[in-house]
Chains A and B, each alone.
Chain A
């Protein structure tokens, strides 16, 4: 099992992305949803990368997905698992796989969101085996 946990750095939210981080603090994974495309996308932004519509709203994701790929960062202390998780809503997101033995992580594995503390006590979305 993982021992020491990573301390997540705080990168200030850019104007418009506050709801994502407010959602994380409340235990919700928020996605941008383009109304004309009727599609969720990630990372969140105020302009849809598919059609450039600014008619974009926030929707809460189920918080479940599948590991698309990953890597274990060996020289880091503590060692961490970086990954892309494809969410059940469609888009893939960069994240960390936590609370498990890095050697057990596999492509195709089902995972669920878990929120971990950042340096200032606020939260960030990570994933753990479902």
Chain B
């Protein structure tokens, strides 16, 4: 069963904080939930479905947060696929709504790695001792930065992608961030700034990496009848896709593409739209290489041509062919909880509503795509794609 057109995003809220040492994780979730519910013009008691990712949610699955916020639920789903969770949740919420399991779904994300002093990118993160891959990987120091760096190194080797091309992704994000009063890095940077910034994990420089921030965001997803009764612009979910990519026991290792190759295809097929129809794209930008690979995987350019595609401002709103991450993205704005999927949906919703900053608002933005990857491109990950249409 397709869920095309069976769910609408009627509420979206991004927490303005980027550093929250005095706010608890549960409180951040509650604050973003309140923001999204108010944005939709609903009340807390209207919520009967709740989606969150176990990994950024304190307590067992969504139990503690449902209690904290006093939610009365008919449907709960704490699927955690890392940063792509919230994109996946939009699809799962659409399915639950279409199946009549709930009517109005809340999705929340929050995190405070900055206040907690987590060295997100450069320190290998120890997992659970039952994690079967841990003993074979963790000792070698797989930090987030060097995992993505190994993808970039191979992409460069295989396709001739250059550091200057990767830098253009950051340059475009910074052009957008200058208009975002909440952005952590609002200064416009040049290709030279990026390639001359300190090397973190060859070939990725410091400015190829996203920020570390506290914060969060929330969405409200509901069925057509309710969406049409509210006073917000109509943002219809027309295509969703998810996919898992791993190593199949180390057979034919290929780190030059992501699960987006499959999730994107599924979302485009369901939506029945073409790439040229997409006016705006939110693309998870944990690193510059993440964007280049995912644009290829989603089919916005040929495999291996991502570097060329992003060059010369092609991702800058008002300049290039595919405006992306007009909030400044993870590279410049924020990366709450080290999970970028939520803000990708939120900025796409702003674009479709015509509520992005006027300097970056895409004219006649009727179709937008949001895509992300959760986990690590260097080992195993889940890609999730959402295509939305303004009605």
Point out residues on A near B: beta carbons under 8 Å: 6, 8-14, 17, 20-21, 32, 39, 41-45, 48-50, 68-76, 80, 82-84, 86, 90-96, 107, 118, 124
Among residues of A, the one whose C-beta sits closest to the C-beta of B143 is: A73
CA distance A35 to B315 in the complex (A): 50
Is the pair B251, A91 in contact by a Cβ cutoff of 8 Å?
A: yes
Is the pair B135, A107 in contact by a Cβ cutoff of 8 Å?
A: no
Is the pair B249, A73 in contact by a Cβ cutoff of 8 Å?
A: no
Among B135, B142, B199, B250, the residue within 8 A (CB) of A74 is B199
Known: A82-B141, A83-B150. A71 touches B202 (CB 8 A): yes
Point out residues on B near A: beta carbons under 8 Å: 122, 129-130, 132-143, 145-146, 149-151, 153-154, 157, 198-204, 247-251, 253, 255, 379
CA distance A94 to B253 in the complex (A): 11
**Count of A-B residue pairs with CB < 8 Å:** 117
Is the pair B150, A92 in contact by a Cβ cutoff of 8 Å?
A: no
Is the pair B247, A92 in contact by a Cβ cutoff of 8 Å?
A: yes
- Which residues of A have CB within 8 Å of B150? 69-71, 82-84
Is the pair B153, A93 in contact by a Cβ cutoff of 8 Å?
A: no
Q: How far is the CB of B137 from chain A (nearest CB, A)?
A: 5
Is the pair B141, A71 in contact by a Cβ cutoff of 8 Å?
A: no
Q: How far is the CB of A10 from chain B (nearest CB, A)?
A: 8
- Which residues of A have CB within 8 Å of B140? 82, 94-96
Among B139, B157, B202, the residue within 8 A (CB) of A118 is B139
Is the pair B251, A71 in contact by a Cβ cutoff of 8 Å?
A: no
Is the pair B251, A69 in contact by a Cβ cutoff of 8 Å?
A: no
Among residues of B, the one whose C-beta sits closest to the C-beta of A42 is: B250
- Which residues of A have CB within 8 Å of B153? 69-71, 107
Identify 16 residue pairs between A and B in the complex whose beta-carbon atoms are under 8 Å apart, listed by A's number.
A6-B141, A10-B139, A39-B249, A41-B251, A44-B136, A45-B132, A49-B248, A68-B255, A69-B255, A71-B203, A82-B150, A92-B247, A94-B137, A95-B140, A107-B157, A124-B139
- Which residues of A have CB within 8 Å of B200? 74-75
CA distance A86 to B247 in the complex (A): 12
- Which residues of B have CB within 8 Å of A12? 129, 135
Q: How far is the CB of B130 from chain A (nearest CB, A)?
A: 7
- Which residues of B have CB within 8 Å of A84? 150, 253, 255
Q: How far is the CB of B365 from chain A (nearest CB, A)?
A: 37
Among A14, A73, A94, the residue within 8 A (CB) of B201 is A73
Q: A14-B129, A41-B251 are in contact. List 10 more A-B contacts (CB 8 A).
A: A9-B139, A14-B132, A39-B251, A42-B249, A43-B132, A43-B133, A43-B249, A71-B145, A75-B200, A84-B253
Among A6, A50, A69, the residue within 8 A (CB) of B249 is A50
Is the pair B201, A71 in contact by a Cβ cutoff of 8 Å?
A: yes
- Which residues of B have CB within 8 Å of A17? 135
Q: How far is the CB of B361 from chain A (nearest CB, A)?
A: 38
- Which residues of B have CB within 8 Å of A93? 136, 250
Known: A11-B135, A39-B251, A72-B201. A80 touches B130 (CB 8 A): no
- Which residues of B have CB within 8 Å of A48? 249
Q: How far is the CB of B131 from chain A (nearest CB, A)?
A: 9
CA distance A35 to B234 in the complex (A): 56
CA distance A13 to B202 in the complex (A): 31
Is the pair B139, A74 in contact by a Cβ cutoff of 8 Å?
A: no
- Which residues of A have CB within 8 Å of B138? 9, 11
Is the pair B202, A72 in contact by a Cβ cutoff of 8 Å?
A: yes
CA distance A13 to B129 in the complex (A): 9
CA distance A68 to B204 in the complex (A): 17
Is the pair A13, B137 in contact by a Cβ cutoff of 8 Å?
A: no
Is the pair B146, A91 in contact by a Cβ cutoff of 8 Å?
A: no
CA distance A48 to B249 in the complex (A): 8
Q: List 3 tightest A-B contacts by C-beta distance, closest first.
A: A41-B249, A91-B250, A71-B149
Among residues of B, the one whose C-beta sits closest to the C-beta of A15 is: B130
Q: How far is the CB of A32 from chain B (nearest CB, A)?
A: 8
Among residues of B, the one whose C-beta sits closest to the C-beta of A32 is: B249
Q: How far is the CB of A28 from chain B (nearest CB, A)?
A: 15
CA distance A82 to B140 in the complex (A): 7
Among residues of A, the one whose C-beta sits closest to the C-beta of B256 is: A69
